[in-house]
Amino acid sequence: MVEGSTSDGPSVAVPVTNVPSTVAAIRSLGPLGIHTVVLSEKSTSQAFASKYCDEVVATADPHADLLAYRDDLLDVAARDDVRTIVPVREVDAYVLSRYRPSFERHVSLPVPDMAALERVHDRLLLAEAAEAAGVPVPDTRRPVDVEDWSRDLLAKSRYNLLTSTYDDSLAPGESATSDQIDHFETGVRPDLESLRERHRVEPIVQEFVPGGEEYMVAALYDSGDPLAVFQHRQVRGTRYTGSGGAYRESVSIPELGAVATDLLGHLEWNGLACLEYLRHETTGEFVLAEINPRMWQSLASTVAMGADFPRYYWQQATGRADEIDPAYDLGVGCHWLKGELLHALSLFRFDSPHVERPGYAETLRDIAVSTYRHPRFDYLSLDDPGPFVQDCSTLLDELPAVPNLEIQV
């Protein structure tokens, strides 16, 4: 780990995150001869243990002081060797879009403008955009606007990321995230004030989509035009009730691709997008859950399936988008082993009136069989073993609090 060094060649800056996407990005770009600069507010990270981590630069904690984090990223962007910054967290996407003019004095950033970002960060606005684009979306309302509580409903944060831009009660340097989802008992009206307190601000209430099949569409866009589009089915999440992926398999379904590209085209999207869909068990429709405007938790599996989005992002940022080859392999499976453990633990820790709890023995058998048939892993790599070893070490420290871990998608 090197602090404060520079490189004679081109460099890419990648912030740290608690899921494998940072490691996936530097493993993709490092072998191309690109100097990798890992930006971190932490003293340890799985990314530090990778042989493809060329340099570490300390930053402020964005959740403690968002403006100080912005300034630290601007300092890195101003370096002569740095060509672009890869957004891997919601806070990265927000800072790069919110202060895009300042960053673009120094680096190339394939990111959406702030108006487009707000339309996906605010899930009420996103539902409106999906309806306008003719894309299936669950009925989405403010709690006070819900008249019929006899349906299967759930509540989640209105915003992907909470900042002063979206809530003027926050100071400019404040930010917060929440992955809390409340599944309501059918026919029972919740206490709305208590609901608001749990989510910090007023959440949204959505109609529950029955079926359980989860899909992701990953995309890279240039001003409304697709450069690369990828699909996978999420076979298991980190929670059986629904969450970020632990095991995924690559697919190509025309109807799924259409609802994603129709929406991104309507938004005139620019940059990265991770779209989550649920397949309705009755209608067969792919119903939009949310959009994350950044790299995604399962990035390592996407790369393993042949869709190298860190390379695509670099090519777009450096004016070589015409070199992007968006083809990928179908029927390929990939695991995040820590995510598989979290999935198994969720059987003991979470309840839902809408999602049937799988059997314990059945779940363990499915994990074992899929691991045998598809031995591909987000962190585990014989070429670069350090991140997996560090992830195991981190898990041992976190294990007492594992049920409460917040995992991004």
The answer to whether residue 306 scores a pLDDT higher than 70 is yes
Phi, psi of 260 (to 5 degrees): -75, -50
80 membership: H or E segment, kind and range = none
As given in the structure block, the two tokens for residue 277 are 């869909």
Q: DSSP string spanning 259-282?
A: HHHHHHHHTT--EEEEEEEEE-TT
Handedness of CA 407, 197, 117, 266 (dihedral sign): positive
Task: Judge whether residue 293 has pLDDT over 60.
Answer: yes
Structure-block tokens of residue 285: 């429709």
Confidence of residue 49 (pLDDT cuts 50, 70, 90): very high
Q: How far apart, in whole angstroms, are the C-alpha atoms of residue 382 and residue 385?
A: 5
Q: What is the pLDDT of residue 401?
A: 53
User: How much is the pLDDT for 169?
Assistant: 85
Query: What are the structural domain ranges in the chain?
Result: 213-404
pLDDT digits (tens, 9 = 90+) for 151-202: 999 999 999 999 999 988 889 999 988 778 888 988 889 989 888 888 888 8
To the nearest 10 degrees (0 to 180), the angle between helices 21-29 and 309-317 is: 60
- At the topology level, CATH places domain 213-404 in D-amino Acid Aminotransferase; Chain A, domain 1 (3.30.470)
The residue count for the chain: 409
CB-CB contact of 245 with 216 (8 Å): yes
Grade residue 37 by pLDDT with cuts at 50, 70 and 90: very high
Q: Is the dihedral of CA 93, 98, 102, 105 positive or negative?
A: positive
Please report the pLDDT score of residue 7 as a whole number.
54
